[in-house]
Chain A
Amino acid sequence: MALNVNVLREEFPILHQEVNNKPLIYLDSAASSQKPRAVMQAMDHYYETANANVHRGAHTLGDRATQSYEAVRDTVATFINAKSRQEIIWTKGTTEAMNLLASGLSQSWQAGDEVIVSRMEHHANIVPWQMAAERTGAIVKVLEINDKGELRMEQLDELISERTKVIAIGHVSNVLGTINPVKEIIAKAKAKGIVTIIDGAQAVPHFKVDVQDLDCDFYAFSSHKLFGPTGLGVLYGKQARLEALPPYQGGGEMIERVSFEGTTFNKLPYKFEAGTPAIAEVVGLGAAIKYLESQDRSAIEAHEQALLKRAEELAADIPGLRVIGEASNKVPVLSFVMDGLHPSDLGTLLDQQGIGIRTGHHCAMPLMEAFKVPGTARASFAFYNTLEEVEALFAGLAKIQRMFT
């Protein structure tokens, strides 16, 4: 059944407003998605009826808070098909998940050990590895891309060596929209006993992810890109891998017993969750996932692909516009540059027309280098965007071009 976008948009209050006296057209969901009303309601409800600290209270509110909060761990486990709830760790976001992993895994590295990342990674999946490499004398190796913005898979076998400890790859590029063949990479790595980490920040908002089917060791994503609140992320890890990983931060919650003679750590998942967590946000994420699961996911995917296809058609009609990222397998993200126009000019002049896009390097400077551009303009779509909005974007770009001639 086709998606009724206009009905669905009613659930996103923020979309119904004007900016700069024009109806808002939000095309920056890859940076952060908008939230359905159910998310705000769940968080409000939590604060109005259940707010207390979790896992501590000898009182009713504490129990309620803990229950609502821990129930979402099950929701997330089911959402990505993890084997158990112990495999779901709350973090601040994808960035923190990557730092947790780099810090923990690198404790057993030797100088000369290797990590493989790709050219198209977000800085969140580059810098933590560089920092860990700096500390240990390890080496970060790069899987390159082709002109279309796809991984050069034929390089992978060459890059993998006896010293490869970790392969950390994005499931979907935030700049190019490319969906990477991570399953194939994971299988190759697994055959060599290499730890696999998938940055799923841009994947989970667009399609169903099954971590058991992928068979990765770790998978990370951010709530705010998945129609949930900010300040929260998920790190999935296979239980045995998580057990073997040393704790990240120390403090309350993550301990079993503290004494000055020696401290023992809590069991999974709490071992990695020091301090009071983002309880209301977890509750909000639960509502976001429930909302998403109540939709027809295949209708959503079909609609998103229609948005992308329309955008690509219209982009081809604009003289001097170059699309960056032309992989055959993409989520609805369109990065582009235009002759004689700086991305920041495009951003400013689209904003005047009520259209919000992102411009710049998108936290992927090594990728900008490969395409020899200082930055791009990026329109990223979500299921709540309409074909009319895609058309308005290109009408807006045509208008800007006229202003410059």
Chain B
Amino acid sequence: MSLPNLETFKNNPYGTETAIDDVLENFEFLDDWEERYSYIIDLGKSLPEFPESEKIEANYVHGCQSQVWLIHMQDPADGKIYLMIDSDAIIVKGLAAVVLCILNAKTASEITNTDVEAIFEQMDLIRHISPTRGNGLRSMIELVKSIASQQ
């Protein structure tokens, strides 16, 4: 089974066109939980399609109540790491889009040096990556960090 090509990875708007600062800016204008979570749901819905053929055990992120898949590819030209994520839970997908805005299309050292927790804290979403939540977001972030540290 072959991975999608680098172009497909690069077409993911999160972390490329849409930076985390854009998300943070939008987030500031949202007043209540409904608006905030509707925004996250929309992010989740707009995540680029994840190839069905890649939904295999090797790409499965364990420790999740929902199912989560993650694949990556490195651009040999500049060393940037490109990610694709999917989940069957829409909020997890939306939060994955936030993670992508933070970590996608970054170099290994950028990934290792980014404090993802601080950003989730700022968005008041920290509970979603607390070790007590079995939703896999934390495992997802740890996986990306470990991919980066192996480069």
Contact = CB atoms under 8 A, between A and B. Distances in A.
Interface of A: 20, 341-345, 348-349, 352-353, 359-360, 374-375, 399, 403-404
A348 B91 contact: yes
Nearest to A348: B91
B135 interface: yes
Interface stretch (B17-25, B31-39, B98-106): B31-39
A360 B134 contact: yes
Contacts of B67: 374
Contacts of B89: 342, 344-345
Nearest to A22: B33
A20 B88 CA distance: 25
A375 B34 contact: no
B74 interface: no
B41 A404 contact: yes
Contacts of B38: 403
Nearest to A341: B90
A355 to B, nearest CB: 12
B112 interface: no
Given A342-B92, A344-B135, 17 more contacts: A20-B33, A342-B66, A342-B88, A342-B90, A344-B92, A345-B89, A345-B90, A345-B91, A345-B92, A348-B135, A349-B37, A349-B91, A352-B37, A399-B34, A403-B38, A404-B41, A404-B90
B113 interface: no
Contacts of A399: 34
Contacts of B65: 343-344, 359-360, 375
Interface of B: 33-34, 37-38, 41, 65-67, 88-92, 128, 134-135
A375 B67 CA distance: 11
B136 to A, nearest CB: 9
Nearest to B94: A345
Contacts of A341: 90
A341 B91 CA distance: 10
A399 B41 CA distance: 14
Contacts of A359: 65
Nearest to A375: B65
Nearest to A399: B34
16 contacts: A342-B88, A342-B89, A342-B90, A344-B65, A344-B89, A344-B91, A344-B135, A348-B135, A352-B37, A360-B65, A360-B134, A374-B88, A375-B65, A403-B34, A403-B38, A404-B90
